[in-house]
Amino acid sequence: MASASDPVGVFDSGIGGLSVLQEIRRLLPAEDLCYVADAAYMPYGEKPKALVRERALKIARFLVDEQHCKAIVVACNTATGIAVDLLRKQLDVPVIAIEPAIKPASELTKTGVVGVMATPGTLSGEKFGELHSRFSRDTKIISQPCPGLAKAIESGKLNSIRLRKLLTRFIKPLVDQNADVIVLGCTHYPFVRPLIRELAGQDVRIIDSGEAVARQLQRKLAASGLENGSGQEGHERFWCSSEPGACRGSIAPFWTRDVCTMALPA
């Protein structure tokens, strides 16, 4: 039986989910947070769907069964698209999952054109197909697969020429087709928002779903009486499927407090 003092589990293929974790920490300062970066298996967006499904279930089980998490946040659009139905079926805790912010984008656009940057795995998934067809009656939604981008961000070289070239290649077709809203449909991408803004131009709105997920988590916890009301500052713990020292080096630049990473059990 879950209790309000139990932690919340959050996972992604790597550092991307930290963009969601930051929003959760801002909104829910008292919650203890367990974060798994499945760095040995990233990029999920360019891996077979069966493997992503298997990894997502294994990590969620670790968080629930071994860390006693009271809720799971899938901080990875690719894993949501591929595995969220399975996780909801298999786990008996609430599963909150991120998805590309197409709904708010379709309300914001003035040109009627929205660009979605995401991994090939997200854009080729059934879930994204459903989301796309739900909003494409009144809005032109351009899907832009971004192979290589999450991996380039994960490497931490956010000012590299290679990254700029990649982003230029992905953003130009969206701007050329008059998109005035760009949806960041991968949790790694908010970390290069300034560069995306520079390349897309100041008139283009750039949105992601991190804050919406944190709010959804808050609602779910409150609805099940599981919000931590201790008034004390929560802690974070990090696990990684690759070498923990290297993983710590990847996470630390994106997290304001001390980071100690542990090896995810095989």
Given the residues 76, 146, 240, 247, the one annotated as active site: 76
Phi, psi of 197 (to 5 degrees): -60, -45
Q: Is 242 in the site for ligand DGL (CB under 6 A)?
A: no
Q: Is 209 in the site for ligand DGL (CB under 6 A)?
A: no
Identity of the residue, 119 or 143, whose beta carbon is nearer to ligand DGL in the bound complex: 119
Count of residues of this chain found to bind ligand DGL when the rule CB under 6 A is applied: 16
Q: Is 250 in the site for ligand DGL (CB under 6 A)?
A: no
Q: Which of residues 4-43 bind ligand DGL (CB under 6 A)?
A: 12-13, 16, 42-43
CB of 73 within 8 A of CB of 8? yes
Q: Is 122 in the site for ligand DGL (CB under 6 A)?
A: yes
Q: Which of residues 69-88 bind ligand DGL (CB under 6 A)?
A: 76-78
Given the residues 34, 146, 186, 247, the one annotated as active site: 186
**DSSP designation for 202:** T
Residue type for position 119: T
Active site residue 76: yes
Q: For residue 30, what are the CA distances in angstroms to 71, 103, 203, 260?
A: 15, 30, 37, 19
Residues 6 or more apart whose CB falls under 8 angstroms from that of 46 comprise 119, 120, 121, 147
Q: Is 119 in the site for ligand DGL (CB under 6 A)?
A: yes
Q: Is 188 in the site for ligand DGL (CB under 6 A)?
A: yes
Q: Is 146 in the site for ligand DGL (CB under 6 A)?
A: no
Place of tokens 């970066």: 37
Measured between alpha carbons, how far is 149 from 160 in angstroms, rounded to an integer?
12
**DSSP designation for 44:** G
Q: Is 191 in the site for ligand DGL (CB under 6 A)?
A: no
Measured between alpha carbons, how far is 98 from 75 in angstroms, rounded to an integer?
6
Residues 6 or more apart whose CB falls under 8 angstroms from that of 162 comprise 152
Q: Is 208 in the site for ligand DGL (CB under 6 A)?
A: no
- Write the burial class of residue 189 (CB in 10 Å: 0-12 exposed, 13-18 middle, 19+ buried): buried
Q: Is 139 in the site for ligand DGL (CB under 6 A)?
A: no
Q: Is 143 in the site for ligand DGL (CB under 6 A)?
A: no
Active site residue 240: no
- Interface residue with ligand DGL among 95, 186, 200, 213 (CB under 6 A) is 186
What is the smallest separation between the CB atom of 123 and ligand DGL, expressed in angstroms?
10
Q: What residues are paired with 114 via a beta bridge?
A: 141, 181
Residues carrying an active site annotation = 76, 186
**What is the binding site for ligand DGL (CB under 6 A)?**
12-13, 16, 42-45, 76-78, 119, 122, 150, 186-188
